[in-house]
Amino acid sequence: MADYIAGGVPERLVPRTTEARNAGEAKVLAGRRRGPSVAFWGMAMIVASEVTLFGTFIGTYYYLRFNTPHWPPVGTPEPRVVVPLVMVGILATTSLPMQLAARAARRGGLWAARLFLLWALVIQCGYLVYEIHDYVDQLRRSVPQDNAYSSIYYTLLGADHAHVAIGILLVVWLLWKLARGLTMYRLNAVQVVAFYWHAVNLLTLVVIGVLLSATL
């Protein structure tokens, strides 16, 4: 009997992808499969949900702003502009090594993938450490209990930092996984986490932009 081709490809040519056990096999099978992995679609859904959550936070920010005569209210310090902008710019550059890591993994380059991830991780950790320090520092001048402005300011910023922290945990986990070689499962993971980081970097840019809009 003829091969089954209703789906456009004969069955025997369809790659059995998750069975790839080493970098070479993963590279070959990744080249033969069609479209992004299922894991990628799953992450896209989670990111869609998270982006909507941040959309709601940002909507709340502006809703409160347009109902308040002075923004930030009198007595509450304005957010600093230059340092957060520089920091978020530095964080945004980590999209480059994350994408390069995904690309290297896709081509079977295990060491390159590890190094790119490490490069990203160093910057991401530096960013988070500084930002936590800065968050605590700001809490000395105003607290979320002051007024609605402070409430949404700290909630939005804190939610963003939480997402950066989760991303860092994911990169650490990836490096730990890659220490034992590259498989298709880990290749999917690198691509998915890179996508997550692009989303987080974009979110951080938007969140900082929104928070700094109070100084305009």
Residues that bind another protein (CB under 8 A): 1, 3-4, 6-9, 11, 14-21, 29, 32-35, 37-38, 41-42, 45-46, 48-50, 52-53, 55-57, 60, 63-64, 67-68, 73, 144-152, 155, 169, 173, 183-186
Shortest gap between Cβ of 206 and another protein (angstroms)? Answer: 15
Nearer to another protein, 93 or 135 (CB): 135
Shortest gap between Cβ of 28 and another protein (angstroms)? Answer: 12
Shortest gap between Cβ of 4 and another protein (angstroms)? Answer: 5
Integer Rg of the chain from CA: 22
Q: 86 and 123 in contact (C-beta within 8 Å)?
A: no
Nearer to another protein, 42 or 89 (CB): 42
Q: 120 and 101 in contact (C-beta within 8 Å)?
A: yes
Distant-in-sequence contacts of 144-148, Cβ < 8 A, 24+ apart: 146/73, 146/76, 147/73, 147/76, 148/64, 148/68
What string of DSSP letters covers 96-147? HHHHHHHHHHHTT-HHHHHHHHHHHHHHHHHHHHHHHHHHHHHHHH--TTS-
Nearer to another protein, 20 or 101 (CB): 20
Nearer to another protein, 100 or 196 (CB): 196
Shortest gap between Cβ of 191 and another protein (angstroms)? Answer: 14
The most distant pair of C-alpha atoms in the chain lies apart, rounded to whole Å, by 81
157, 161, 163, 165 alpha-carbon torsion, rounded to 10°: -170
Shortest gap between Cβ of 175 and another protein (angstroms)? Answer: 14
Nearer to another protein, 36 or 112 (CB): 36
What gap in Å lies between CA 216 and CA 166, rounded to an integer? 31
